[in-house]
Copies of this chain bind each other. A is one copy, B any other.
Amino acid sequence: MSFDDFRRHGHALVDLIADHLETVEQRPIVPDVQPGWVRSQLSDAAPAQPEDFDDVLADLTRVVEPALLGWQHPGFMGFFPANASLPAILGELASAGFGQIGMMWWTSPAATELENHVLDWLVDAMGLPGAWRTDSGVGGGVIQGTASEASHTAMVVARQRAVERGASTDELVAYGSAQAHSSIEKGAKVAGYRHVRLVDVDDAYALRPEEFARLVESDLEAGLVPAVVTSTVGTTATAAVDPLRSISQVARRHRLWHHVDAAYAGSAMLCQEFRHHVDGVELADSYVFNPHKWLLTNFDCSVMWVADRRPLIDTMSIAPPYLRNEATESGAVIDYRDWHLPLGRRFRALKLWFVLRSYGTDGLRAMLRQHVAMARGLADRLAADPRFELVAPVAFSLVCFVHRDGDGATDRVARHLNAAGDVYVTPSVLPDGRRFVRVAVGQARTEQRHVDRAWQLIDVAG
């Protein structure tokens, strides 16, 4: 491909993406394909000779587009949003085009310092502890791929700290609420924890700190070594918020690492009125939130902060001779290779920088508040209707409800929503076993009319 070809095909692809996103609302959210359909459309072997790139682009329309789930459809209210805003898409393009490997400051000063900088911007814009700033604090921020990876990293650091104090890995215990994301249990298992405690929750599905304290004490009595606890700010099922301050108090008393998973709800901390949900966060050891969920930055972009970067770097640093360089040895720079498992890393700060500058923090706040207002509006309608019951507080933009006639009726509502093709939800199950409908408002292009449409479908099926 010549540079001229690249310009031509690149312009065509930009237009194809614009067309795709501009018309995504006219296509069903759930693709009408059976397992194996995509593969059946492709040649059995890789081509030996170059193909015309126009044919490749045509296959995006022929094979790829019909088999996409409508994550970018404004009626997408499943899982949590995974917003790919237009400036973020361009940030990803710039990152790919510059082809940097930012493993160390030295291997890409731009990638390293821009990441330092935009994460420091976010510390201030979100009212997070000043000690987390990379430039003036003892902590710092790093972009990882997913909250799964960030939480796993925290658990590895916690494990290392406990082992250095003389514990056996076999004795270590990790804690999280019974409503924590699956990545907490998975991260603990992958990190080698053989004891994972999923702590009981209260009526609002938040971790009970007194139950956590009781489990820690009982594990200590049994000769085990409590090492890490993960709190969640905005659980996946119901957006519940664990009490950070009380959990930190227990964690500090028994020297556990306290990690906070704010993957979804963390974005809301841009707005002052949600910050009471992270009261006590200055006592936590690490914190993760995903701009790739609710902050318009396309996946992947998961921001992790640590209150003290030394234990993280001590755990993750390996320095072979081929990576030695003056900048690193001077101590004047951040080398992100020592902040996570991977060595190589993309220039992901670009897309976050593009988003922050294109929307401005006030623009992002307005979007977040609009989503929350739309979610509350839907919740008000449900609460006012005797057929339905809200089963969780609407702290952010997630609405959870059941039909009072039981699981069958609830499932009927969920099926009716998803069968329409222009709304999509992912139902789940409450701790008491009841099935419920989750409506996750937050897709970047969701407007009031999309939430009205969801209500219309609920109303008809109810």
Contact = CB atoms under 8 A, between A and B. Distances in A.
A125 interface: yes
A182 B3 contact: no
Question: A interface, how many residues as a size bin?
Answer: 35 or more
A446 interface: no
Given A84-B96, A114-B64, A18 B7 contact: yes
Interface in A228-256: 236-237
Interface string A149-161: 1001000100100
A100 B360 contact: no
Interface string A288-315: 0000100000111000000000000001
A215 interface: no
Interface in A26-57: 31, 33, 35-39, 42, 45-51, 53, 55-56
A86 B6 contact: yes
A131 interface: no
A344 interface: yes
Given A45-B124, A49-B363, A68 B341 contact: no
Given A192-B192, A316-B190, A346-B299, A97 B21 contact: yes
Interface string A165-190: 00011100000000001110111011
Interface stretch (A102-110, A385-393, A450-458): A102-110
Nearest to A126: B46
Interface stretch (A199-207, A325-333, A404-412): A325-333
Specify how many copies of this chain sit in the oligomer.
Answer: 2
A361 B45 CA distance: 10
B327 A35 contact: yes
Contacts of A426: 322
A343 B170 contact: no
Nearest to A118: B46
A406 to B, nearest CB: 17
A38 B322 contact: no
Interface in A65-89: 65-69, 71-72, 79, 82-89
User: Which interface residue of A39, A300, A344, A357 has the most chain B CB atoms within 10 A?
Assistant: A344
Nearest to A426: B322
A97 B182 contact: no
A7 B1 contact: no
Interface stretch (A9-17, A217-225, A273-281, A371-379): A9-17
A60 interface: yes
Contacts of A13: 90, 93-94, 97
Nearest to A14: B10
18 contacts: A10-B89, A21-B97, A37-B113, A39-B135, A50-B360, A56-B353, A56-B357, A64-B94, A64-B114, A65-B110, A68-B108, A71-B101, A79-B107, A148-B343, A168-B168, A170-B170, A181-B320, A186-B316
Given A9-B90, A37-B113, 15 more contacts: A10-B10, A11-B14, A36-B113, A46-B118, A53-B358, A56-B357, A69-B107, A71-B107, A82-B101, A84-B96, A182-B320, A183-B343, A186-B341, A186-B343, A300-B346
